[in-house]
Structure 1
Amino acid sequence: MDIYIKKAIIHQFSPADTDLILSDKYLTISPKIEEYLRKKIERVYSDEAKTGVFEADNPFLVAISADLLETSLVLVKRWQEEFSVSENQKTNDLIFIQFDKGGLEHFAFLRISLRETLTHLGQEMDNPIKLTQNNLPGFGTGADEALVINLSSRKYHLIEKRIKYNGAFFNYFSDKLLQVAPKTSPKKSIKALEKTAQKIAESFNQDDFQFQSKLKTSIFKNLEEKEELSPEKLADDLFDSNLTARLSFIDQVKDVMPEPLVFDEIDSSRQKKKFENQKLSLSNGIELIVPNTIYQDAESVEFIQNDNGTYSILIKNIEDIQSK
């Protein structure tokens, strides 16, 4: 991913302090810090990201200027006002970043919860392992919450967590701080889609292993070929011979996925990996993992329903067998 970090500044929030710990200087972007921030940004473009486009007059968007320091001071105080009601507070680093992606100017806001961890302090010979505070998570860990905005298109990617207030949970970040209603993340959309398909199949007595396999195949095929999921195309695949089921599926899916799910700037590899194989657990204890490309090939795998209602699976044209 073509990301170039231009400027970054860190402020800190601690539940033990009444005021934010504000910085008045930009970070020195060393190679390691650049790598750390870049990896955190890259992880925002995942299947867990909610997306949307800001209105031009959105108060949060309007507060973003070319002066990153000034912008960060305004937005971090707004963030504190909304987050301070949370019943479960920890020390957080609040990082604001200006960066280019694909030659376009972007803005990022990362909330990273700091950790307690055991650290080996080599100079302490008697007790070299000590519990240290305010440690940043590793390079491979995503930010606890993150917002990335393409300042040209106003499109945003958002990773957010609900906070608890007065015994209830709510999305303070999108509802209060950003004042937006983002699209559901691809990960949650696909889960809802699977659940809806299974519900429709059950109502028409189709919810067997063959339907489950067809569902996985259809999702994988559409992601592999088009990087998108369309309710209409999935309905054609899943309920091709039942018009009532097809229309019911489209109608119910619209509630959770009102428009085709497009993996625009979002990494679809985790979802493809999830659906690339058929995993079958048989009543005799045998478990099979069959790649989708082979599963649909009658010259490789054949499922036979016997007269007594049992199944037989015929695996054909095996050139070599290895024990693992």
Structure 2
Amino acid sequence: MLDLYIKRIIIHQFSPNDTELVLAESPIEITPRLDEYFRKKLSKVFSDEAKRGYFDTENVFISHIGNDLMESSVKISKLWKEEFVISEDQKTNDLVFIQFDKEGQEYFAFLRIALKDSLVHSLGNSQHPIQLSQNNLPSAAQTPDEALVINRSSKQYYLIEKRIKHNGSFANYFSENLLQVQPEQSVKKSIKMIEDTAQKIAENFNQDDFNFQGKMKSAIFNNLEEDQELSPEKLADQLFDNNLTARLTFVDELKEAIPEPILVSDIDHSRQIKKLENQKLSLSNGIELIVPNNVYQDADSVEFIQNPDGTYSILIKNIEDIVNK
């Protein structure tokens, strides 16, 4: 969990019954349990799922965030309600506004948390011990339904948003209507786009085999872990080093969605590292291998041999010990 210092929390509520706001009169008392809960919620926003960007000086939304958290929270809650009220799927939502510090810088956060109904066991009623409890907060480990976190100094923002359904279609009302920004796509989505684009180009140039898949996985892993960024140009050089046309095509197809290298140093990208750290090979004879990337790339540890008949052999070298798990 990130090292965050929460200074102030204000919680308003939106009721779907009359589509009205129940506005808080004062900040809540921050107990140790609540501090831990909301720090975990905020940590979920600094993740590979967040869309990122910067507010420009002329943005209308950012002008509503002043030094008075209560005043800002009321303004933004009313603006949010005007946009959200058209949604066809409405629930009771807590609108949580948080003032906090991270690495010595001040941040503003707006979290939308949909409340849930849960069954609880009540010891005081022997006839009906299982009762329905309403307006329960979800677990701390769950990502907020929507979230906006802003660095008050740099105006950089981190955004988790969900599309709402209205008149049979879906819209990113949060970024498009409320914030009026065009954020970068999330790191998670960018990596998926890079993988899909690389695979398509490899297929077009007859390079799409397990060797290329392993090469791609290793390249993305190394760039994330060592460089803390993903550059389409650099990945093109690594994936298609012997084919200029493939390199140029790869960069060209990604330039609109990923015009600049994707930085990951400011977010938790451990899930992507975990996903990419091993090569998982499924062989036609039923054998499955999990090979760490550093071993996979080491010719003194693993060698893949293509036989004259087109089959493959895998030579695993220098094994000191074998344990049957």
TM-score range, shorter chain: over 0.9
1:107 corresponds to which residue?
108
1:51 corresponds to which residue?
52
Residue by residue over 1:34-66, the C-alpha shift from the partner in whole angstroms, topping out at 9 and shown as x without a partner, is 111111111100000000000123111110111
CA distance in 1, matches of 2:215, 2:257: 21
1:297 corresponds to which residue?
298
1:164 corresponds to which residue?
165
SS at match of 1:202: helix
- Equivalent pairs: percent with the same residue? 64
1:129 corresponds to which residue?
130
1:123 is displaced (CA, Å) by: 2.1
Give the number of aligned pairs.
324
2:217 corresponds to which residue?
216
1:241 corresponds to which residue?
242
Q: Does the 8 A contact of 1:227 with 1:268 survive in 2?
A: no
CA distance in 2, matches of 1:15, 1:109: 19
1:86 corresponds to which residue?
87
SS at match of 1:255: coil
> What is the RMSD of the two structures over their aligned residues, measured on CA atoms?
0.9
2:66 corresponds to which residue?
65
CA distance in 2, matches of 1:188, 1:165: 24
1:18 is displaced (CA, Å) by: 3.5
1:77 is displaced (CA, Å) by: 0.5
CA distance in 2, matches of 1:193, 1:157: 21
CA distance in 2, matches of 1:129, 1:318: 57
SS at match of 1:105: strand
2:8 maps to amino acid? K
User: Which aligned pairs between 1:278-317 and structure 2 lie closer than 5 A?
Assistant: 278-317=279-318
CA distance in 2, matches of 1:128, 1:107: 42
CA distance in 2, matches of 1:225, 1:9: 40
Give unmatched runs, 5+ long, in structure 1.
Answer: none
CA distance in 2, matches of 1:123, 1:39: 33
SS at match of 2:45: coil
1:147 corresponds to which residue?
148
Give unmatched runs, 5+ long, in structure 2.
Answer: none
- Does residue 255 in structure 1 map to residue 244 in structure 2? no
1:291 is displaced (CA, Å) by: 0.3
CA distance in 2, matches of 1:321, 1:144: 46
1:138 corresponds to which residue?
139
1:149 is displaced (CA, Å) by: 0.3
2:32 maps to amino acid? P
Question: Which moved further from structure 2: 17-26 or 305-314?
Answer: 17-26
1:299 is displaced (CA, Å) by: 1.2
CA distance in 1, matches of 2:123, 2:80: 39
Residue by residue over 1:55-92, the C-alpha shift from the partner in whole angstroms, topping out at 9 and shown as x without a partner, is 12311111011111111111100000000111111111
1:228 maps to amino acid? E
